[in-house]
Amino acid sequence: MAEQTNTAQKEQKYCKHCGQQIDDGAKFCQHCGKGISEDAPNNTSNTEATEEKPKKKKNMIMKKYEIILMMIQCLNILKILMH
């Protein structure tokens, strides 16, 4: 029974971009949509990907703020043009 558990653990793959578990043989991560490289090891530690999560989350938050600021600028320009 322990052999089955070890075999199951060897077949697990984790996305190197988002750290989520992916299906064996998948070409793309079903969670983030990024491509899965064929040379990625099957038993990748989930902690490696989670270390980058705060940085990616911060970048995503910054992009959202940039989009909001651009929208505000566009509204201000439209407001000026309407007068």
Structure tokens at 15: 């996305």
Sorted by where each begins, the domain ranges of the chain are: 2-82
Give CA–CA dist 45/13, Å, rounded.
9
DSSP 24-38: TT-SB-TTT-PBPPT
Q: What is the full per-residue pLDDT of the chain (83 aa) written as tens digits? A: 555 555 444 567 888 888 888 888 888 888 888 888 755 444 445 555 555 667 778 888 899 999 999 999 999 999 999 97
Q: What is the per-residue pLDDT for 73?
A: 97
